[in-house]
Amino acid sequence: MSEPGTAAVPSREHGLALLSDMLRIRRLEERCAELYGQGKIRGFLHLYIGEEAVATGAMRALRPEDAIVATYREHGHALLRGVPAAALMAEMFGKATGCSRGRGGSMHLFDAGRRFYGGNAIVAGGLPLAVGLALADRLRDERRVTACFFGDGALAEGEFHESLNLAALWRLPVLFLCENNLYAMGTAIERHQAQLDLTLKARGYATAAESVDGMDVLAVEAAARRAAEYVRAGEGPFLLEAKTYRFRAHSAYDPELYRPKEEVERWKQRDPIPALEATLRAAGLLADEDVAGIEREAAREVEEAVAFAEASPWEPVEDLLRDVYATPEGRGGGAP
């Protein structure tokens, strides 16, 4: 299967929900970029701006009991999974009230209670974790899906091939979701992949695959539902490639010298947020007051999250050895 085309226009309620999810991610990340410039957020910061349709569409196809494994560009995935914006922002501030208690930061968002298993900083590092989670579900006879998000750069790593091979051999319930934004950091995909039809790589491991327009949230949702149903039915793993594009640099430290500005502007003409707005307006499902209301709610959520992070405490010094397995003296760390 490949490029099935844009899905049908949704109901008004569903369309507004999709628009709200994408705008929540966009406004949260725009605020994070500002806070990074102010020195409130430090370390690495990888923004998802431009790619919101992928997480938004895919998350709608998953259930609360399904597991999520993401990359270091995972703020939107965590937010839509239900991790509170306040806990996300506090984590990015490095505060003790963060979802990873301030120890992970932007690249290591985590919430076991919501089955959100990272935030993984190593390229392709999440794929073996997804295989392990899916194997656990299989052994327990659980009808659950593990959705593993990764970028096109991960296809050059051994973990990608090992993970697809094992998942196919054991018919594990993994939805491998490649967010192909055309660049592995600063390396264009045609410079690191000899075969640009990524679905062929999955078929080489006897794994079903499909490619979808990752700038079309309706198409992503429809494709993700097909893929998730296939996996949940016990048919084995599935690779879904979402062709997308990031509008910002790879990270906050990236001078972005590897791609022409004209290319970025060309892709911005396909911004998934105004594209969905146009679809809903054409169908008579969206009015100016709807957009204004969504924007107000997104702004409120983000600013409340920032206020929470600002007011939150740092981890106390006496807790620095908590969860550390060994000390220089050979003793165990602090209390579990």
pLDDT at 335: 44
Q: The pTM is what?
A: 0.93
Q: Record the tokens describing residue 230, joined without a space.
A: 């296939």
Find the CATH number of the domain harbouring 303.
3.40.50.970
Q: Residue 334 above 80 pLDDT?
A: no
How far is the first Cα of the chain from the last one, in angstroms, to the nearest whole number? 48
Q: What digits encode the pLDDT tens for the residues 42-84?
A: 999 999 999 999 999 999 999 999 999 999 999 999 999 999 9
Mean pLDDT score across all residues of the chain: 94
Q: Does the residue 191 lie in any domain?
A: yes
Percent of the chain with pLDDT over 90: 90
Q: Does the residue 328 lie in any domain?
A: no
Listed residue (249, 262, 258) closest to 190, CA to CA: 258
pLDDT at 331: 54
* Residue 78 backbone phi and psi in degrees, to 5: -65, -45
Q: Does the residue 330 lie in any domain?
A: no
The residue type of 316 is: P
The residue type of 276 is: L
pLDDT at 8: 80
Q: Does the residue 3 lie in any domain?
A: no
Q: What digits encode the pLDDT tens for the residues 198-232?
A: 999 999 999 999 999 999 999 999 999 999 999 99
Q: What digits encode the pLDDT tens for the residues 11-38?
A: 999 999 999 999 999 999 999 999 999 9
The residue type of 336 is: P
pLDDT at 322: 84
CA separation for the pair 261, 245 (Å, rounded): 13
pLDDT at 265: 97
Q: Does the residue 1 lie in any domain?
A: no
Q: What digits encode the pLDDT tens for the residues 131-182?
A: 999 999 999 999 999 999 999 999 999 999 999 999 999 999 999 999 999 9
DSSP at 216: -
Q: Does the residue 66 lie in any domain?
A: yes
Q: Does the residue 129 lie in any domain?
A: yes
Q: What digits encode the pLDDT tens for the residues 87-144?
A: 999 999 999 999 999 999 999 999 999 999 999 999 999 999 999 999 999 999 999 9
DSSP-derived 3-state class of residue 294? helix
pLDDT band for position 194 (cuts 50, 70, 90): very high
Q: Residue 251 above 70 pLDDT?
A: yes
Q: Does the residue 335 lie in any domain?
A: no
Strands 146-151 and 183-184: unpaired
Q: Residue 336 above 60 pLDDT?
A: no
Q: How many domains does the chain have?
A: 1
Among 55-64, 250-259, 272-281, the range scoring the smallest mean pLDDT is 250-259
Percent of the chain with pLDDT over 70: 95
Domain range for residue 303?
12-319
